[in-house]
Amino acid sequence: EIVLTQSPGILSLSPGERATLSCRASQSVSSSYLAWYQQKPGQAPRLLIYGASSRATGIPDRFSGSGSGTDFTLTISRLEPEDSAVYHCQQYGSSRTFGQGTKVEIK
Amino acid sequence: QLQLQESGPGLVKPSETLSLTCTVSGDSISTSTYYWGWIRQPPGKGLEWLASIYFSGSTSYNPSLKSRVTISVDTSKNQFSLKLSSVTASDTAVYYCARHGYYVSGYMDVWGKGTTVTVSS
């Protein structure tokens, strides 16, 4: 099983700042089959990024994904108040596993 | 517009079987090229994929839960279902159903709103 470890656990930043979230895999993720989801309290996850770097439909361009192999990054270039949420990474190259999530707080 | 809706008992007793159904509207499971899956989230914790199914009945399971999980599909009702046997308090979670593709499209792009299941006597 591929274990995904996300860091940091909590990220507290001000509006307009840049957020960098990390997702590290215990083994290489096939063909960059990695996705990022945003989850707000009481809501289902929403797909943000797939294929490590492709934005899902309707996702603002301030969200971007990068990485390959075992190291992946989600970047939010200019934080807005509505970006306060938990962000999950998921690999779908070998079965399906999720990271434990990173909570982004807006000061 | 594709929508998924979970339904089932909100309270299940320990050692019993949890049964949930996901009703799909806006697309036909039997003609879709997607898989349909179940994911859960214990209180305050991360997401865990449980199982997925194709309209043909082809299934895949999380190895850690495979002995307790059964997923099935009813194309006549445009629904798919989850059964989790011998539940304990650690199975208390919000259960989501979702759609996903395969290989390069294996991400989950449409989710239900989730249903809370509590395991307690």
- pLDDT score, position B103: 83
- pLDDT score, position A32: 87
Determine the Cα–Cα distance for residues B112 and A86; give it in Å rounded to an integer. Answer: 18
Look over chain B and give the mean of its residue pLDDT values, rounded to a whole number.
Answer: 96
Spell out where chain B has E strands. 3-7, 11-12, 18-25, 35-41, 48-53, 59-61, 69-74, 79-84, 93-100, 108-111, 115-119
Of B46, B49, B63, the CB nearest to A99: B46
Number of helices (H) and strands (E), helices first, in chain B? 0, 11
* Mean pLDDT confidence for A1-18: 97
- pLDDT score, position A31: 78
Residue pair B24/B42 in contact by the 8 Å Cβ criterion: no
Distance from CA of B33 to the nearest CA of A (A): 17
- pLDDT score, position A95: 92
* Mean pLDDT confidence for B63-84: 96
Q: How many CB pairs lie under 8 A apart between chains A and B?
A: 60
- pLDDT score, position A86: 98
Q: Do B96 and A45 touch (CB under 8 A)?
A: yes
Determine the Cα–Cα distance for residues B59 and B20; give it in Å rounded to an integer. Answer: 17
At residue B52, what are phi and psi to the nearest 5 degrees? -140, 155
Tokens of B112: 């239900």
- pLDDT score, position B31: 84
Q: Give the Cα-Cα-Cα angle B107, B91, A10 (nearest 5 degrees).
A: 60
* Mean pLDDT confidence for A63-76: 97
Q: Do B49 and A97 touch (CB under 8 A)?
A: yes
pLDDT digits (tens, 9 = 90+) for B6-43: 999 999 999 999 999 999 999 999 888 999 999 999 99
Distance from CA of B49 to the nearest CA of A (A): 6
Residue pair B70/B83 in contact by the 8 Å Cβ criterion: yes
Above pLDDT 70, what percent of chain A? 100
Q: Select the residue from B107, B109, B111, B113 to test the A interface by mutation, using most A Cβ atoms within 10 A.
A: B107
